[in-house]
Structure 1
Amino acid sequence: MAPIFIVLILVSIIALGEVLSLSSRAKIPTLLVVIAVTFVLLQTGILPESYIEASTFVAAGGVLVPVLIVHLGTMIPLSVIKKQYKAVLVTLIGLLFSVGAMLIIISLIFDYKTAVAGAGPLTGGIIAYIVTQEGLTEAGFTSLAAIPVVVFALQNLVGMPLTSTLLSKYAVSIRDDFSDGKYTDQEDNQVEGESKTKGLLLPDRFMQSNFFLLFLLFIGGALATWLGEITGINYSLWSLAIGIMGFALRIYPDKALDRSNSSGLAMVALIIVVVHSLVGITWDQVVSSLVAVLIVIVVGTTGLVIGGMIGAKIFKWKPTKAVPIVLTALYGFPGDYLIVEEVSRSIGRNEAEQKRIMDELLAPMLIGGFTSVTVGSIVIASILIGTL
């Protein structure tokens, strides 16, 4: 079959996942649909394993991983992080408790390798999963290959309903108590807003070019890969550092890959890399890993909740605000945004109340998700894989 038809099949599966996710307000995660449908097609032989490799997107996705991580480093303005430092610290506390609990408890019940296989994906998103999967493969632990993919597929089903329930309770307190004065201002909520490319080191006429932006991103990705080879430190950490520093030094604009109009195709390639990781995983492996996966999810989520409650105690926040911010590690963006939007609309009795709820919750929830999924999980996965 020609590669274009294979890619059409794979993109159709991704589109199906998006349709179901959007129709259910993200209650059915896109990646869960993609992983489940592809796995069934592979196991039944309807989609031959060789087809995924033949799509050529696997190689493209592998090349784009460091570039995408550099892009992630350009997504969080330092000014917003400073204003939302409590959300950052609460999230980090939750991540530390979650990872610590998994490394101790899962290692005692199973072994250390199983704990590492579950910790990376549970504390973050697609990049942390890929780093973990690659690390396990390189270390020769192919028997554990099913654990990260099943954790990655199922954690949303725990995180999003729990977040929605707790955040709804906190939203009621916002609605009913307008005297606390703890509402974020308009400026704090510009996490997803567009900022201008002016003020960058390179001339604006160059930075308006999609090709030139891609050139800069590929320089960052190549540099990170080279540094990873000569230092032994995972390339993902170098990519993230280059993106953050490049953005801070005004070499990169914010959301650099989005500005090059290339993020959509890059994400398709990245998802196909995830799909490719299903090749060779059997139904028996998935079934045999379910017990470990469920324990990883329970222990990891419990660690996030405990860490969030401790963070709430330290910063004098209500647990119903702090814990949902930490739980964004289980799903990230756009799930965090969609949950806040849904909660504000369902709890607020009028437009003014809905705006108050949205203003209070949006910035910390987005920053929590960025901190865990974009930064924390990549660091955690890279460090843990390096210990195998």
Structure 2
Amino acid sequence: MSQMLALVIVVLILFIGDVVAVKTKAWIPSVFISAVLFLIGYWTFFPKNIVELAGVPPVVATMMIYLLITNMGTLLSLKELKKQWKTIIISLAGIAGIIALLFGIGTFIFGFKTIVVAIPPLVGGLVSALIMSEGAKEAGLTTLSVFAIVIYVMQGFAGYPLTSIVLKKEGRNLLQKYRSGQLGMAQANEEVAATAVAEPKELKLFKNLPDKYNTDYFKFLRLAFVGFLAFIVSTLLKPVVDISPFVLCLLFGVIARSVGFLERHVLQKANGFGIAIMVLMLFVFDPLQRATPGMIMEILYPLIGCIVLGVIGMYIFSFIIGKVLGVSKHMSFAVSLTALYGFPSDYIITNEVIKSLTKDEKEQEVLTSHMLPPMLVGGFISVTIVSVILAGIFVGFL
């Protein structure tokens, strides 16, 4: 098979996944469709190295992970998050619930290493799943390497419908209060609600640099340099404490944005985000080449068990903390569920629910101001930040 034919085939699979997700309004996750098509391909006519053949060897994927995680760090702004402190606590409580039930119960049922591999992808998404999959592979745990990817692929089936159900209940309650005059227009935090699209702040360290010199290459250079610093610090600290360079990438990305070395969404500004995501998505499905039908059946039981226990843990902990903070149980659970999918699914699901509840634009505005900011922040905290930190820690347990 030629390189370009391999590239056409694997990108076509990603496109088909997107089409199905759009048609079903994300009820059928794109990653699930893509994973099924990759499995069918591997079990029939795909060469086992089709992803590498298409131009995505492991070294390229590793480069993209460094760039993407550092880019994630530029999304964090303490100013934007402090007004949603309740949401942050609830999101962390939901994650604590996942960890508590999986370690407290799941370890005795499925084994310690299975739970270690399961938690970061269950809390997060693409990057954490990749970290755990590669860590399991290097530890010689082939089945668990595949398990990390499969749990990432499947968790949306629990997250999407449950989120839709609880958000509809929350929305109906809000509409009832609004129509009876008990609820007014919330003071929506526009910066938080627009987490994914806000304009970057001025580059303090380069304020005298003419815009014409802030080229795509200069953006990539600064992004790569921050990733390099994370790698160097991780290497220097290794004799003392083993910290994943990916965790440091996230931290250094936050610092680099705060001091004005990197702008927000720097990878998008450098026109590199799309290709980076495509490369990582292809690399995510590469471990499925090792998945036999027997292996899929073998991991089915722990897969379902871990997702069920994780969701129960989310509900219990988010319910308790929500009660303490005065947040409804429906909104608390919805915020914690964002860990199962993150952005942009949290945005899509929330908007779909709002549109299904009312056609009145004023009522839609009220629901949006109350429901969207917590959903965006919840997904950002769990998927973007905590999952990467957990993956960096847990991979050392394998």
TM-score (norm 2): 0.93
* One-letter identity of the residue aligned with 2:168: S
**1:367-386 correspondence runs (5 A):** 367-386=377-396
**1:77-96 correspondence runs (5 A):** 77-96=77-96
Corresponding position: 1:309 with 2:308: no
Mapped partners of 1:213, 1:13: distance in 2: 31
Asked whether the equivalents of residues 185 and 369 of structure 2 are also in contact (C-alpha less than 8 Å), the reply is no
Q: 1:250 to 1:288 in 2, by over 3 A?
A: same
Mapped partners of 2:164, 2:173: distance in 1: 14
* One-letter identity of the residue aligned with 1:218: A
TM-superposed CA distance for 1:181, in Å, is 4.5
TM-superposition CA deviations, 1:147-206 (whole Å, max 9, x none): 212211111001010000000000111111132457242524231333145353213526
TM-superposed CA distance for 1:223, in Å, is 2.1
TM-superposition CA deviations, 1:288-340 (whole Å, max 9, x none): 11001110010011111112112211211101111101100001111100111
* One-letter identity of the residue aligned with 2:325: F
Q: What residue is the counterpart of 2:151 in the other structure?
A: 151
TM-superposition CA deviations, 1:262-295 (whole Å, max 9, x none): 1000100001110112122211111111001110
Percent of aligned positions with the same letter in both sequences? 28
Q: What residue is the counterpart of 2:221 in the other structure?
A: 215
Q: What residue is the counterpart of 2:102 in the other structure?
A: 102
**1:350-361 correspondence runs (5 A):** 350-361=360-371
Q: What residue is the counterpart of 2:188 in the other structure?
A: 185
Q: Aligned-residue CA RMSD in angstroms?
A: 1.6
Q: 1:33 to 1:148 in 2, by over 3 A?
A: same
Among candidates 233, 242, 255, match of residue 265 of structure 2: 255
TM-superposition CA deviations, 1:332-373 (whole Å, max 9, x none): 111100111111111124110011111111111001001000
Asked whether the equivalents of residues 120 and 380 of structure 1 are also in contact (C-alpha less than 8 Å), the reply is yes
Mapped partners of 1:157, 1:343: distance in 2: 17
Corresponding position: 1:228 with 2:231: no
Corresponding position: 1:278 with 2:260: no
TM-superposed CA distance for 1:226, in Å, is 2.7
Mapped partners of 2:293, 2:112: distance in 1: 24
TM-superposed CA distance for 1:225, in Å, is 2.4
Q: 1:345 to 1:207 in 2, by over 3 A?
A: farther
Q: What residue is the counterpart of 1:49 in the other structure?
A: 48
Asked whether the equivalents of residues 62 and 273 of structure 1 are also in contact (C-alpha less than 8 Å), the reply is no
Asked whether the equivalents of residues 145 and 281 of structure 1 are also in contact (C-alpha less than 8 Å), the reply is no
Q: What residue is the counterpart of 2:202 in the other structure?
A: 198
Secondary structure of the 1:95 match is helix
Mapped partners of 2:200, 2:104: distance in 1: 46
Asked whether the equivalents of residues 77 and 191 of structure 1 are also in contact (C-alpha less than 8 Å), the reply is no
* One-letter identity of the residue aligned with 1:121: P
Task: Tell which deviates more after alignment, 219-228 or 374-383.
Answer: 219-228
Mapped partners of 1:177, 1:338: distance in 2: 24
Q: 1:363 to 1:2 in 2, by over 3 A?
A: same
TM-superposed CA distance for 1:28, in Å, is 1.4
* One-letter identity of the residue aligned with 1:56: G
Secondary structure of the 1:28 match is coil
Mapped partners of 2:10, 2:123: distance in 1: 27
TM-superposition CA deviations, 1:186-243 (whole Å, max 9, x none): 5242313331453532135267411111111111222222333332311111111111
Task: Tell which deviates more after alignment, 58-67 or 15-24.
Answer: 58-67
* One-letter identity of the residue aligned with 2:188: D
Secondary structure of the 1:84 match is helix
Corresponding position: 1:300 with 2:318: no
Asked whether the equivalents of residues 203 and 261 of structure 2 are also in contact (C-alpha less than 8 Å), the reply is no
Asked whether the equivalents of residues 200 and 253 of structure 1 are also in contact (C-alpha less than 8 Å), the reply is no
Segments of 4+ moved more than 6 angstroms: none
Structure 2: gaps (5+ residues): none
Task: Tell which deviates more after alignment, 345-354 or 177-186.
Answer: 177-186
Task: Tell which deviates more after alignment, 121-130 or 179-188.
Answer: 179-188
Asked whether the equivalents of residues 78 and 248 of structure 1 are also in contact (C-alpha less than 8 Å), the reply is no
Q: 1:116 to 1:184 in 2, by over 3 A?
A: farther
Structure 1: gaps (5+ residues): none
TM-superposed CA distance for 1:259, in Å, is 0.8
